[in-house]
Amino acid sequence: MGEEITPDFQGTSFQRMVWDEIRKIPSGETRTYKDIAESIGNPRSSRAVANACAANPQPISVPCHRVIRSDGTIGGYSGPGGTSRKSALLAVEKGLVGSRNT
């Protein structure tokens, strides 16, 4: 097939590093803010990771809804619909919604 398109997001180098890492999370899976911070080599930057998610300019290309709190709960979501939309997106990706034949 064709080449993968790499989006050119405007943001700080830290934000782009976070967004690149988030793009690696497979559909239906989640990572914590701490997981992302550790994977980019800044284990104490969980809050900065959350701020990078809040500044995400492309929620379709950078699925920040896949990033959750360390206790497993849904954190803030700056996209339309807030945390209820984030929960719904995760449920759809995990196959919990729409997988039943009626």
Q: Would residue 64 show up in a list of annotated catalytic residues for this protein?
A: yes
As a residue count, the chain comes to 102
Distance CA 71, CA 81 (A): 22
Distance CA 28, CA 94 (A): 4
Q: Are 29 and 22 in contact (CB under 8 A)?
A: no
Q: Are 52 and 11 in contact (CB under 8 A)?
A: yes
Name the catalytic one among 62, 64, 89, 90: 64
Name the residues annotated as catalytic.
64
